[in-house]
A and B are shown apart, each in its own frame.
Chain A
Amino acid sequence: MVDLGLFTQIVINGLLLGGIYVTIGVGFSLAFGVLEVVDFAVGEYVMVGAFMGAVLAPLFGAEGVFAIPIVLVVFFGVGALIQPLIHHVTTGDRPHPLLMGLVFTFGLATFLRGSVLTIFGPNNQDVPSSLLTGGVTVPGVGTFPVVRTVTAVFGVTALLVFMYYLYRTRGGMAIRAIAEDRTNARLMGININRYQSIAYGAYAALTGSAGVFIGMIFTANPGMGLQYTAFAFFMVVLAGMGYLPGVILAGIVLGLTQSFTAVYISGNLVLLVLFAIIYVVLLVSPAGILGKGEWAT
Chain B
Amino acid sequence: MTRKHGDRRTFLKGVGGAATAVGLAGCAGLGGGSERDFFKLGAVTSLSGDLRFGGGVTQRGYDLWADTINREQGGIEIDGETYEVEIEYADAQSNPSAGADAASQMINDGADAVLGPYSSNVTLAVCPIMEQNSMPHITGSAESPQIWQEGYEYSFGTIPTVSIIGNEATSALLNLDPQPDSVYVTAVNEPFSVATGESMRAAAEEAGITVENYEEFPRDTDYTNVVSAAQDADPDLHLHGGHIGSHVNLVNAAEQLGYNPDGFLMHYGVNTGSYKDGAGAQGPYTFGATVWIPSVDRSGGALFDSPQAYADASEAAYGSAPDYTQAGSTAAGVVFQEAFKELGSAPPLTQDDKDELIGILEEIEVNTFYGDVAFETEGEYFHNNINTQTLLIQLGEDGSPSIVGPEEAATDEANYPVPAWDER
A binding-site residues for B, Cβ under 8 Å? 3, 5-6, 9-10, 13-14, 16-17, 117, 121-126, 128, 133-135, 137, 143, 145-148, 217-219, 221, 223, 227, 258-259, 262-263, 266-268, 270-271
Contacts and interface: CB of A to CB of B under 8 A. Distances in A.
29 contacts: A3-B232, A9-B257, A10-B225, A16-B224, A117-B52, A121-B53, A121-B56, A122-B52, A122-B56, A123-B278, A124-B244, A124-B245, A124-B275, A124-B277, A133-B255, A137-B258, A143-B257, A145-B224, A145-B256, A146-B256, A217-B252, A218-B249, A219-B279, A223-B50, A258-B225, A259-B228, A262-B221, A267-B226, A270-B218
Nearest to A267: B217
Contacts of A146: 256
Interface of B: 50, 52-53, 56, 186, 189, 215-218, 220-222, 224-226, 228-229, 231-232, 244-245, 248-249, 252-253, 255-258, 273-275, 277-281, 421-422
A135 B215 CA distance: 24
Contacts of A143: 256-258
Given A9-B232, A135-B257, A268-B189, 11 more contacts: A6-B232, A10-B228, A17-B224, A121-B52, A124-B274, A128-B281, A143-B257, A146-B256, A217-B256, A219-B278, A263-B225
Nearest to A20: B222
B225 A259 contact: yes
B188 to A, nearest CB: 10
A259 B217 CA distance: 12
Given A3-B232, A124-B248, A267 B224 contact: no
A126 B277 contact: yes
Contacts of B422: 134
Given A126-B278, A134-B421, A267 B221 contact: yes
B220 A271 contact: yes
Contacts of A227: 220
Nearest to B280: A126
A126 B279 contact: yes
Nearest to B273: A123
Nearest to A62: B280
A267 B258 CA distance: 21
A123 B221 contact: no
B256 A221 contact: no
Contacts of A6: 228-229, 232
B8 to A, nearest CB: 22
Nearest to A130: B281
Contacts of B278: 123-126, 219, 221
A262 B217 contact: yes
Contacts, number: 123
A128 to B, nearest CB: 5
Contacts of B277: 123-126
A16 B186 CA distance: 23
Q: Is the interface of B mostly helix, strand, loop or mixed?
A: helix
Contacts of A218: 248-249, 252
Contacts of B224: 13, 16-17, 145, 148, 259
B229 A263 contact: yes
A81 B226 CA distance: 41
A14 B224 CA distance: 9
B228 A13 contact: yes
Given A126-B279, A227-B220, A145 B225 contact: no
Nearest to B281: A128
A262 B273 contact: no
Given A17-B224, A123-B53, A262-B222, A268 B217 contact: yes
Nearest to B282: A126
A117 B215 CA distance: 32
A221 B218 CA distance: 17
A257 B175 CA distance: 40
Nearest to A270: B221
Contacts of B252: 217-219
Nearest to B244: A124
B410 to A, nearest CB: 29
A263 B257 CA distance: 16
A16 B224 CA distance: 10
Given A125-B277, A128-B281, A221 B217 contact: no
B50 A122 contact: yes
A219 B255 contact: no
Given A135-B257, A219-B245, A17 B222 contact: yes
